[in-house]
Amino acid sequence: MLVCIPNALSKDEVADFRRLMDENAWEDGRSTAGAQSAMVKSNEQLPPDSEVARKLGSRIVSALTSNPRFISAAIPLQIFPPLFNRYRAADGHHFGIHVDNAVRGDRLTGLRIRTDLSVTLFLSEPDEYDGGELVVEDLYGSHEVKLPAGDLVVYPASSLHMVTPVTRGMRVASFFWLQSMIRDAHARSLIFDLDVSIQALVERLGRDDPETVRLTGIYHNLIRVWAEV
């Protein structure tokens, strides 16, 4: 399941993020890559333990935990502290095909999570750069994602994916992982589809409609069956 979430951050928030990021030093992005990923990774990132990365990451987590569509798609149990990267055409940056590590640990907090879902939050407008598409492969083929600044995409961390070479300008993004309460990807997809349908019924019939109430009960009971907390 690949889900796009618009306006996770406002344009003003994105501008503030970019200003703060531009004021800080960047490092080789391979410092957070696994052995296989490091061989195909070429980009830069804010030092993960830096004050600015932690503060901006906390702002992202705060925004997402109050975003209904994100909660519906991810049903998050633990969110890894967001990281930040950039791909510059001048340096031929790209990230070849890879799969994310199954477990990620944060050395500052001691947090360890199973990476059920990967998240990319775009911090550059599409017209700022050429190339740089996130390409996610699944059973139905390859999907190219290049979203407006402030929008994000959630996709299975188990999927093969890549970032195509940036040939003009610079692509800036935040990326991170989360462990969902619903471990099974198929179950998580069904719950998301059910929630989307319920919200559409609420718009048409109201929250007090008996069938809407009944479906909402089914939604919560399915979470009770499948949730790991």
Look at residue 58 and give its three-state secondary structure: helix
Is residue 154 within 8 Å of 176, Cβ to Cβ? no
CA distance linking residue 77 with residue 52, whole number of Å: 24
Q: Tell me whether residue 171 is annotated as binding.
A: yes
User: Buried b / exposed e across 201-225, counting CB within 10 Å, b at 16+?
Assistant: beeeeeeeeeebeebbeebeeebee
Q: Which two structure tokens, joined as six digits, stand for 226?
A: 């499948």
CA distance linking residue 149 with residue 165, whole number of Å: 19
> Among all chains, which residue has been given the structure tokens 């462990």?
179
Amino acid at the residue 143: H
Q: Which two structure tokens, joined as six digits, stand for 81?
A: 């502290």
Q: Tell me whether residue 224 is annotated as binding.
A: no
Q: Helices in the chain by DSSP H: which ranges?
A: 11-22, 35-38, 51-64, 68-74, 185-205, 210-226
**Of 136, 205, 171, which is closest to residue 44 (Cα–Cα)?**
171
CA 226 to centroid of chain Cα atoms: 22
Q: Tell me whether residue 93 is annotated as binding.
A: no
Which residues define the annotated binding site? 98, 100, 161, 171
Which residues define the annotated binding site for 2-oxoglutarate? 171
Which residues define the annotated binding site for Fe cation? 98, 100, 161
